[in-house]
Chain A
Amino acid sequence: MDFVNAIILLLNYIFVPALAYGSQLALGAIFVTLVYGILRFANFATGDMMSFGTMFVILFTFYFQSVGISFGVLPTALLAIPLGIIFMIGYMLIIDKLVFKYYRINKSPPVQLAMVSIGVMFVTQALVRIIIGPSDRRFFDGEKFLIKAGEFKEMTGLNEGLAIKSTQVITIIVTLILVSTLFWFLNKTKTGKSMRAYSDNEDLALLSGIDPKKIVMITWVIAGILATIGGALYGLDKSFKPFTYFNNMLPIFAAAIVGGIGNPFGAFLGGYVIAFSEILLTYAYRKFFMYVLPESMEPDGLIQLLSTDYKFAVSFSILVIVLLYRPSGIFKGKVL
């Protein structure tokens, strides 16, 4: 019985939260990796683009709520996401036309594009703060828990409760659907294949008659979808604050690089690698060992490898180690 308790404990505090957080990171990381693979620059505006998309979702959610439209037990935000995506894609295409296109046509070095993306970062950040303000916003409604800790205890008769938030389940399901559609698109459709070819070898792809304008446009469309959904899911699960989104750029970058930048599948797994290592290394295992070990061997301390203050530092350290020993990432292989 103690053993089952220990497993439930780990599920409740490590596995489920890490899976949800990892999914949110994975979506962002695929966004980074696609932009890097096809448009060929490190996009420092990632976090702010995600907050920009989320902002639209929030505005539409508030509108729906004021009109009285709701989605039953599910959060209203799910209804608002498609509208948010449309606006986000529009914004991305405008930004591309006004800013990035010039450098792409001139074949500027990636560093210059990265600098330009810092300019976009400032502008996007300003727009978000001017439109919706810098404060913390919650836009979740509907049923909060799928399984409550108390109900679970009653149901199974165990000491440890397992609480699963509905946002966590939504996050994981939406991520799985989105990512499998994306991989189907990249691997099976003609457009997806031409995108991969373009990323692999630009000149060869152009020779084969692939239209670069179309590729770039589709990349931004996919990027808009990923950014909006990733951002909205994070906001539903936690809360929306522009500054947090800006900071999230860092673990997202870490996930993309750990997975091998330019490789969407690597980025997808990289998100989970980062999320799990962050949570595994900073969790206090005291209670777990109390269940597993006999009473005489019970530990005194918290059995915590690192204090939770260093949560971010963990993912960055992993990244630095990967960068140094395997700069092409854990899951290297072909690009895109």
Chain B
Amino acid sequence: MRKNLNVIAAYSIMMGLIILVGIFQSWNIALSIFNLCLISAVMTMGANIQWGYAGLINFGIMGFTALGGLAAVLISVDPVQEAWSAGGFNILFSLFLIIAMVLAVRYILKNYKKSKNRTYIVSAIIILGIVIIRFISEPGIEAIEGVNPAKTGFLGGLGLPIIFSWVVGAFFAGGLAFVIGKVALGLRADYLAIATLLISEIVIAIIKHEDWLTRGVKNVIGLKRPAPYEVNLQQTDWFISLVEKFNLSKLNLITDLTERQATLNQLVIEGSSVFVKLCYSGLFLVVVIILLILTQKALYSPWGRMMRAIRDNEEAANAMGKNVVKQHLLIFVLGSAIVGIAGAMLVTQDGLFTPGSYRPLRYTFLIWVMVIIGGSGNNFGAILGGFVVWFLWIEAAPIGLYLVNLTTAGLDDTHFLKVHLIESVPYFRFLMMGVGLLVIMRYRPKGILPEKIEIK
């Protein structure tokens, strides 16, 4: 108990801050911060597995997040029958060709010795394959994108409940991580960082521009929800009576019947959106707790010990007979899969998929700031980092505004400096993140909750 005191204290402070937001701003804002904190926590757990456990730098978090989001679309949207009949065959045939191409290349690479001829044959297969695939897929893609472009213009998905996409998103991201890991994990640390950063940009470029699959920058809106809709809630009797019960003391103060009814309606509308957010919080909390239990178990298992050994001294671990390459690949896939879950959760919560919104600053670098500030190698630290940084990211504007008003109190309201500073308040969050990261790296390099090595 005693040694966990700092963890408990840190989390209580964090919860207290969110509750304060609930009291002073509104419960709606507090809950939406809380939900995104939970999603960020899942992402940081993924990054922490890679960086904290194994020392692998993955700057491609954005790509895995986007793939998770894509999974949400492909699972939950109803299939567009017309599009399938228009171009489905071409797409399936191209997919088959891609698989055949990969298998052929693999076969050649495996069965023939390295030589110039082999390189030529492999590149010939790839180039020829790409040309053929383009010829076959082009008419199909055009046909699909031509089907009712304002509303669909893509193949649609499977029409399953969106919650399944959390698992599928993990598989998508894990699959991509497997491919990236196979080719790039041999690189030195900073090269790996740059390579993953660029690969994630390629993933985003594909998602943005392959309209037949993702609708691209036209966005997919109105995804299914695992939670009830506000409009439906506002008309259900049990919900109205629940809200009435909660606010009985407040309502009893109002004597006028019509006024009472109006207040109740207002409360029901507010309550419904809070209730929906609570549903999401519950779902996300379940995911976070399950992942936390699993990652904690893994961290203190012999496997976790081996990962730390590899991280701290690769050569020594290799000499002890541990397969460093294989373990690196495994952990890269696992961490990325967790990030994929978070990506699907994010799209589920938003109810829309906007490929244009995936930017490295928000989805890669911010997550890294979270991990470093929270404490890499420590799951509780990483989660706390997700909470703290996201909270600051949202609340930076109000805090910045307060600071600006405080420092420029002596100036006239129309003074150009004051006006300019107030206009640029939204950018104080970047400043805060940067300074926070630099201060933590300098004075507490292991993060708020540093890694503890316990020998059990």
Question: Which residues of A pack against B, CB within 8 Å?
Answer: 41-42, 44, 99, 102, 109-112, 114-116, 118-127, 129-130, 133-134, 246, 250, 253-254, 257, 307, 309-310, 312-313, 316-317, 319-320, 323-324, 327
Interface flag for B240 (CB, 8 Å): no
* Binary A-proximity of B88-118 (CB < 8 A = 1, otherwise 0): 0000000000000000000000000000000
A210 to B429, CA, bound (A): 42
Number of A-B residue pairs at CB separation under 8 A: 120
By the criterion CB–CB under 8 Å, are A123 and B189 in contact? Answer: no
By the criterion CB–CB under 8 Å, are A312 and B205 in contact? Answer: yes
Contact partner of A123 (CB less than 8 A), chosen from B194, B423, B438, B445, is: B438
By the criterion CB–CB under 8 Å, are A122 and B441 in contact? Answer: no
By the criterion CB–CB under 8 Å, are A130 and B421 in contact? Answer: yes
Q: How far is the CB of A37 from chain B (nearest CB, A)?
A: 13
A64 to B361, CA, bound (A): 34
A34 to B424, CA, bound (A): 34
Contact partner of B199 (CB less than 8 A), chosen from A119, A310, A320, is: A320
Contact partner of A42 (CB less than 8 A), chosen from B190, B202, B369, B438, is: B190
Given contacts A116-B438, A119-B437, A257-B191, contact A313 B205 (CB under 8 A): yes
With a cutoff of 8 Å between Cβ atoms, the chain B residues found around residue A319 in the complex are 194-195, 198
By the criterion CB–CB under 8 Å, are A257 and B430 in contact? Answer: no
By the criterion CB–CB under 8 Å, are A114 and B193 in contact? Answer: yes
Contact partner of B201 (CB less than 8 A), chosen from A110, A121, A313, is: A313
Interface flag for B209 (CB, 8 Å): yes
Given contacts A115-B372, A130-B424, contact A122 B195 (CB under 8 A): no
By the criterion CB–CB under 8 Å, are A111 and B191 in contact? Answer: no
Given contacts A112-B441, A133-B424, contact A122 B433 (CB under 8 A): yes
With a cutoff of 8 Å between Cβ atoms, the chain B residues found around residue A111 in the complex are 57, 189-190, 193
By the criterion CB–CB under 8 Å, are A327 and B201 in contact? Answer: no
A128, closest chain B residue (CB)? B427
Given contacts A129-B424, A130-B424, contact A316 B199 (CB under 8 A): yes
B194, closest chain A residue (CB)? A253
With a cutoff of 8 Å between Cβ atoms, the chain A residues found around residue B445 in the complex are 112
Interface residues of B in 191-211 (CB under 8 A from A): 191, 193-195, 197-199, 201-202, 205-206, 208-209
By the criterion CB–CB under 8 Å, are B198 and A316 in contact? Answer: yes
Given contacts A116-B438, A119-B434, A122-B430, contact A324 B197 (CB under 8 A): no
Q: How far is the CB of A330 from chain B (nearest CB, A)?
A: 15
Q: How far is the CB of A269 from chain B (nearest CB, A)?
A: 19
Interface flag for B428 (CB, 8 Å): yes
B436, closest chain A residue (CB)? A119
Interface flag for B365 (CB, 8 Å): yes
B195, closest chain A residue (CB)? A323
Find the residue from A41, A125, A317 having the highest chain B CB count within 10 A: A125
A110 to B55, CA, bound (A): 13
A317 to B184, CA, bound (A): 13
With a cutoff of 8 Å between Cβ atoms, the chain A residues found around residue B201 in the complex are 250, 312-313, 316
B138, closest chain A residue (CB)? A301
By the criterion CB–CB under 8 Å, are B430 and A125 in contact? Answer: yes
By the criterion CB–CB under 8 Å, are B194 and A257 in contact? Answer: yes
